[in-house]
Amino acid sequence: MTEIIRINPTDPEINRVIRAAKVIREGGTVAFPTETVYGLGANGFDPAACRRIFEIKGRPADNPLILHILGPDWLDRVAGEVGGRAMEFAEKAWPGPITLVLKKNAKVPGVVTAGLDTVAIRCPAHRIALELIEYSGVPIAAPSANLSTKPSTTRFEHVVDDLDGKVDVIIDGGDATFGVESTIINMTVEPPVLLRPGAFTVEELEKHLGRIMVPEAVNRTATDGEVAIAPGMKYRHYAPDKMLVLANDSTILRGAAMMAADMDDPIAILCSSETANSLMKSIKLRNISVIILGSEGNLYEVARNLFDAFRALDETSAKMGIVQKFDDKGIGMAIMNRISKATGNSAIEKLGDLEGMLEAQ
């Protein structure tokens, strides 16, 4: 049976945090909020506890976990080689939504790193998460608190939907701030390489680190033969149960809405408030559900609502969803990364594609 512990995110009740921390120390699992998404945590030094994370989520064993620590002073507990540059960056960027990949030390079990000699580490900018780490006294291994391949959870209610009865404790700590996971940067190479775009933008990384490598394939899912050294690089991710495709431009999105209005099969359009207003003024949206992600002028709002929108799609009667394309600058890169993963890089290139996609469902 899962215990629900409600904790004030701005002024955490320490006795409740201590109760959850005791579960971590004793080898249990705790779902907890961070500034990015909710995490499913266990003692990062306990191989059996970490294996439970994989079992609960249905997560492939070659998909590494992130270790959450209290700050740069904890790096030597989990990293074998830090280096002055990585330490300086950590001291400036933490706590925050940035994960560093470094060489691991012998204390970190292989189950956490998928057998690799590197480990992903971050210090979350969330009071509940930080106090949970502090009172646990150990690094907390934690991927997102959702079933594998499902959209990540940014709200307590969605954690309950996925994990109630499967984990020992779920902390209700309110909604996540950013709504997309941390950025992951490989600091074991020079220049550092972006492995996953996230809430800490490339532009911010470059201010701190200078030149970094942003591989063209950063949004591509790694193949079976490739090694994933960080979460989110391999396997289908973030996806709703229903088919979701990307509209490559606004003309295709509008045309798809016009076509769908005359079809028998209902669809959903996931788009900005500006696009929604434009569509509603010019098209009779028969058989169309509109799920608003936020304003094009505030992509942080879009990011915060993205995974909720993917889950909302599954609650509609729509046969499939079509999602708008956003500018990939700033946090837009993380938004488009998650959309690419959720759609499996499936896009409507021309309007004739839509009818065939609907027939295939």
Over residues 59-99, the pLDDT tens digits come to 999 999 999 999 999 999 999 989 889 999 999 999 999 99
d(CA 234, CA 231): 7
| Sign for the pseudo-dihedral over CA of 146, 336, 303, 334 | positive
Residues of the chain with pLDDT under 50: 224
- φ/ψ of 62, rounded to 5, equals -95, 20
d(CA 361, CA 63): 30
3-class DSSP state of 317:
coil
Going along the chain from its start, the domains and CATH numbers come out as 3-219 (3.90.870.10), 243-360 (3.40.50.11030)
Residues 6+ positions from 356 with CB-CB distance below 8 Å: none
* CA dihedral of 223, 226, 228, 147, whole degrees rounded to 10: 30
Burial category of 338 from C-beta neighbours within 10 Å (exposed 0-12, middle 13-18, buried 19 and up): buried
Query: What's the confidence (pLDDT) of residue 347?
Result: 87
Contacts 24+ apart (CB under 8 A), 5-11: 5/169, 5/170, 5/171, 5/172, 6/171, 6/172, 6/173, 7/128, 7/171, 7/172, 7/173, 8/173, 9/33, 9/126, 9/127, 9/128, 9/173, 9/174, 10/127, 11/127
d(CA 143, CA 53): 8
Query: What's the confidence (pLDDT) of residue 86?
Result: 95
Cis peptide bond prior to 95, omega within 30° of 0: yes
E-only strand ranges, the chain = 3-6, 30-33, 38-43, 66-68, 79-81, 98-104, 118-122, 140-141, 169-172, 183-186, 193-196, 243-247, 267-272, 288-294, 320-323, 347-348
Residues 6+ positions from 15 with CB-CB distance below 8 Å: none
Residue whose token pair is 């699992």:
29
